[in-house]
Structure 1
């Protein structure tokens, strides 16, 4: 009797990511890190609420992952998070912030965040989260 091995499940395409971050330095460093370490394609980015919502609303570039900072040049990442589930329903929504207090984490989850990470202390956890997405 022979057994048939099943190949491991993995994505054939890169994760398509949209990044909402107002700091050009942080944005560029994060893009470089994600694209260097993982099979991720950053398909767009915005630094304010209105630009983020406009990009997400066009629907031209569907994404798999939306990474959102809370505090933006204008508006708030919380509003982006609130609308992201309707505008890009298939995308995972991740908050990456310097203000990952227990209350803020709970609020973000209530608004539809799949995960919340602290920018200064949990980048490795964000990378692991993205790796898990690639393996799903």
Structure 2
């Protein structure tokens, strides 16, 4: 599974990428710190992605702005929010924007890893077996 990580803190972005690559089948294809760069990368037809992980507070723009930009995507692509700013209102807004899952950075990193691992299992199960 190819991921794109949108996180303004480079250390968090790199650590998250390393964790996901070590513990799941996720391979991070790219990442950025801001809405505009992420929007351009995700819209480029030469860049294939299966999951995008978005923080809400970015260097430029916002995660909500990016979510609005990538609202239309193929059904197999997943969009996940991973932020320190998660409450009932944020979860509701994310659901309205078609976000597949929302995780709080401070308490739900394991849940994010588990979510990605489950997606990996689903992808593996959908692959045809070779005789």
- Alignment TM-score, normalising by the size of structure 2: 0.88
Pairing partner for 1:74 from 60, 78, 88:
60
1:95 is aligned to: 81
Q: Which runs of 5+ in 1 are unaligned?
A: 1-14
Q: Which runs of 5+ in 2 are unaligned?
A: 123-131
2:93 is aligned to: 107
Pairing partner for 2:3 from 17, 23, 26:
17
Give the C-alpha shift of residue 31 in structure 1.
0.7
Alpha-carbon RMSD across the aligned residues, in angstroms, is 1.0
Q: Does 1:27 align with 2:13?
A: yes
Pairing partner for 1:135 from 121, 124, 127:
121
Larger Rg: 1
- Consecutive aligned runs of 4 or more in structure 1 exceeding 6 Å deviation: none
Q: Distance in 1 between matches of 2:63 and 2:118?
A: 24
Q: How many pairs align? A: 121
Contact map agreement 1:66 1:93 (CA 8 A) in 2: yes
